Amino acid sequence: MEKLIINVALIGNTTTRDKNPNPPMTPREIAESAIESYQAGAAVCHVHVRDPITQITSMNYELYREVFERIREKCDMVINLTTGTGGRLFWDPQTNVWDTSGLKSPEERVEHVVRLQPEICSLDISTLNMGNRAFVNLVPIVEKMAAMIRDAGVKPELEVFEPGDILFAKDLVRKGLVENPPLLQLCLGIPGGIGATLEDFNFMRSRLPENALWCAFGVGPAHFPIASAAIIAGGHARVGFEDNLYISKGVLATSNAQQVQKVVKLANMLDREVATASEARRILGVNKH
């Protein structure tokens, strides 16, 4: 069994400080949180950025560049930039009006990836019904993004939220838009997607391509149980404030690094060695640009 790659999701699109004051928000805070997580045992960091004044999710290239350069300057961490921002459609039931301001072109969604060339970037391939909003990733949009990511020499991490997404992932590989072996992230417990029970985890895992590299996370209370399942099953684990605000039931996490430390302890208890960043690059088949 390969060593365990721990991927820390520092701050997502929707996490706020309303329930937990500790998630990083500014470029400096996000980079420092990544570096602390690296020191705690994470080999990969998954990066979103926020407007430092409003704390609203942003696609500003300069914010990505600042976080990217701060991390590169201080540690050897594998960097995984999001491309999920720019795929959201909102419905206002009060006015019966669609808000399309959250929908961006494929070029806008991958601009920072093409320019900064991290080792990895996420590529969401699912369209989800999430209450008064939808996460929209139409096939032609995903295929165009995949081609641009491939041409930039970046490995996409295919985010799969339900079983049909895995079939789509296989199709992207068949078309040559994603190179073999593909890297898939099992996203469990997201509204509109599959649940986060052990049965859900095992079913999603059973549908993966035979040669796939894979990682998994569960949101909220499923966070550490799914990490444990991934450790046992030979996959890799994602933790962090994007997916979970707590370190244990009713106890708020103080940092992303604290969550990483808990996964390191779980791995040690389960006799699974934790990969360094250089080992993660070898396992994933990626290079630092």
Tell me which residue has tokens 């961490």.
77
Region 109-122: mean pLDDT is 99
Say how many residues make up the chain.
289
- Sheet of 97-99, strand order: 97-99, 88-92, 133-135, 128-130
CATH, domain range 6-284: 3.20.20.70
Lowest average pLDDT, out of 96-100, 130-134, 281-285, goes to: 130-134
Q: How confident is the model at residue 289 (pLDDT cuts 50, 70, 90)?
A: confident
CA–CA separation, 54 and 233 (whole Å): 41
What integer pLDDT is reported at residue 14 of this predicted model? Answer: 84
Q: How confident is the model at residue 189 (pLDDT cuts 50, 70, 90)?
A: very high
What integer pLDDT is reported at residue 78 of this predicted model? Answer: 99
Region 241-267: mean pLDDT is 98
**Angle subtended at Cα 241 by Cα 142 and Cα 158, rounded to the nearest 5 degrees:** 20
What integer pLDDT is reported at residue 130 of this predicted model? Answer: 87
| Bridge partners for 12 per DSSP | none
Is 90 exceeded by the pLDDT of residue 42? Answer: yes
In this structure, which amino acid lies at residue 152? A
Region 264-286: mean pLDDT is 99
CA–CA separation, 283 and 277 (whole Å): 10
CA–CA separation, 64 and 27 (whole Å): 8
Is 90 exceeded by the pLDDT of residue 15? Answer: no
Share of the chain above pLDDT 90, in %: 95
For residue 237, what is the enclosing H or E element?
A: strand 236-239
What integer pLDDT is reported at residue 221 of this predicted model? Answer: 97
Q: How confident is the model at residue 100 (pLDDT cuts 50, 70, 90)?
A: very high
What integer pLDDT is reported at residue 26 of this predicted model? Answer: 97
- 117 Rama sector, left if φ>0, alpha if ψ -120 to 50, beta otherwise: left
User: What ranges do the domains of the chain cover?
Assistant: 6-284
